[in-house]
Amino acid sequence: MVIIIPAFNEGERIGAVIASVLALGKVVVVDDGSADDTGAVARRAGAVVLRHVINRGQGAALQTGMEFALRILQAEVIAHFDADGQMRSEDLERAGLRLQEQGEGIVLGSRFLGCAALKPTTLKPTDQGMTFSRLLVLQGGLIFTKIFSGVAVTDTHNGLRVMTAETAKKLKLTLDRMAHASEILDLIKVHEIRLSEVPIVVSYRIDKVGQSNWGMFPIVRDLLKKRLIG
């Protein structure tokens, strides 16, 4: 497994994140124009480090990492994992086992899998530290995805994914920033890729809770722009 970690100014945390997943496969960190020592720390921790000279966004970083994993490392399995320390290595391992055992094209992490209904009045155990407003935004994302992509998933913007090389070749990301998560679901639908979800835990950092709420607007803008004008 080649684990791709897009990172922007995560020098304080990236070393521990790499250490937590290093036993699961080869780690490739894409330093997305960081102003701190993210790249240097990642290299010392045992990762292969690629660097964008300027900050291009998470979608662009993942695309760079996938191209490197496919062309240079000849990866058979590729994973996406976040750099901020909010995800768990055991969830990544479980997703990898699911891919191997069930023969899916891609396995997606979900904070809400198994919930009978996503009710904003009840935060689930897998939503550690999630705010009410953040949960509302994620529910809006589910509705948007069902309308425009037609893909039935329980979590639309989750950064933990494990996929085969054949799937990765089909996921050519053109949306550089956070809209890439919805673009991935679009491509899954277009290419009829078999998918499944596994439950994961995301423990939100205090300094990042709610940070992405306003970011939903440029995500919708980018998606609509792509669909309307290509």
CATH value at residue 94: 3.90.550.10
| Longest pairwise C-alpha distance within the chain | 47
Which pLDDT score is estimated for 203?
83
Q: Give pTM, 2 decimals.
A: 0.80
Q: Is the pLDDT of residue 36 over 80?
A: yes
Q: 63-77, 135-149, 171-185: which has the minimum mean pLDDT? A: 135-149
Average pLDDT over residues 59-80: 98
Residue 103: pLDDT band with limits 50, 70, 90: confident
- Give the angle 19-21-23 at the CA atoms, nearest 5°: 90
Average pLDDT over residues 57-73: 97
Domain total in the chain: 1
Q: 79-88, 114-123, 125-134, 221-230: which has the minimum mean pLDDT? A: 114-123
**Continuous segment of H or E residues that includes residue 16:** helix 14-21
Average pLDDT over residues 165-191: 89
DSSP 101: H
CA–CA separation, 161 and 170 (whole Å) = 14
Residue 125: pLDDT band with limits 50, 70, 90: very low
Residue 39: pLDDT band with limits 50, 70, 90: very high
Residue 223: pLDDT band with limits 50, 70, 90: very low
List b or e across 81-104, with b for residues whose CB sees 16 or more CB atoms inside 10 angstroms.
bbbbebbbbebbbbbbebbeeeeb
Describe the strand order of the beta sheet including 106-110 as a list of residue ranges.
48-52, 26-32, 2-7, 77-80, 161-164, 106-110, 195-199
Q: Is the pLDDT of residue 144 over 90?
A: no
Residue partners of 36: CB distance under 8 A and separation at least 6 = 9, 10, 11
CA–CA separation, 135 and 24 (whole Å) = 31
CA–CA separation, 10 and 161 (whole Å) = 20
Range of the domain at 85: 2-229
CA–CA separation, 129 and 123 (whole Å) = 9
Which pLDDT score is estimated for 160?
97
Residue 156: pLDDT band with limits 50, 70, 90: confident
Q: Is the pLDDT of residue 49 over 80?
A: yes
Strands (E), the chain: 2-7, 26-32, 48-52, 77-80, 106-110, 127-128, 161-164, 195-199, 202-203
Q: 51-65, 89-103, 140-154, 188-202: which has the minimum mean pLDDT? A: 140-154
